[in-house]
Amino acid sequence: MKNLFFILLFIPLVSLAQVNDFTKTPQLQTKATYTTEVIPDKITLSITLAEQNTKGKVSVEELEKRMEKVLLENNVDIQKQLTLKDISSNFKDYFLKKTDIQKTKNYQLEIFDAVSAGTILKELESQEISNVELLKTEYSKIEELKIELKGKAILKAKKQAEEMVKNLNQELGPAIYISDLETNIFGRASGLNVRGLNSISNQINGDDLDISFDKIRIEATVTVYFALK
């Protein structure tokens, strides 16, 4: 019985060693990175409607109406793109200081291009709504792009390997090991520029609003081992 257990345990270990032991094969190891940049197609903004910003002259309800009017005029689907995140007031302070009750509401708005974002920001500013903050930028086809970049990185690795064996008395054989563990994404949570500045509030003036978002950079790195003939 002990001998049978030893045989059953030994067979898969030997098989695993045979599969993974390619160190004795003459080989060339190379690493390649392929990078690209894409324009964000999903921009999330935070919009705060606060009565205190108008010194209590305009109610939150009125600010909401103004905001909705601007968004509808710019073809924003309010049901899908606008979300109420928070509502508050200085109700406690009212009893302590006997001041007017002032309310605040916070919304999140999703926009799909910088041009629309610029137009909306300018029109919101004209309606006394300027407390706007960039939350994040995204690219909707990021997963498909990551796969595409990995394929291009592998082709780059092969080209590098071919160049390396040109002056040798050998030929490049098939790939015997590939690793694609490294895929990095940069710039998804920052990078709003209004006329070259990084802040929205109090920077929207004049007839022309030049607004842009930093591109999202994606890079895929692969390591490939090629057999040598």
Tens of pLDDT, residue by residue over 70-82, are 999 999 999 999 9
Q: Which long-range contacts (CB under 8 A, 24 or more apart) does 192-197 make?
A: 192/134, 192/137, 194/121
Nearest CA-CA partner of 101 in 114, 90, 92, 110? 90
Residue range 141-152, pLDDT digits in tens = 999 999 999 999
Q: For residue 210, what pLDDT is reported?
A: 63
Half-sphere exposure of 28 (CA within 13 A, CB side): 20
| Angle (CA) 190 195 198, round 5° | 30
Cα–Cα distances in Å, from 121 out to 58, 74, 194, 209, 210? 19, 11, 10, 9, 11
What is the pTM for the complete model shown?
A: 0.69
Low-confidence stretches of the chain (pLDDT beneath 50): 1-18, 90, 92-98, 191, 193-207
CB atoms within 10 A of CB 58: 17
Q: Are 204 and 194 in contact (CB under 8 A)?
A: yes
Q: Would you say the C-alpha torsion 182, 183, 188, 191 has a positive or negative sign?
A: positive
Query: What CA–CA distance (Å, rounded) separates 43 from 180?
Result: 29
Residue pLDDT, tens place only, 178-187: 998 778 888 7
Q: Which two tokens stand for residue 179?
A: 């690793």
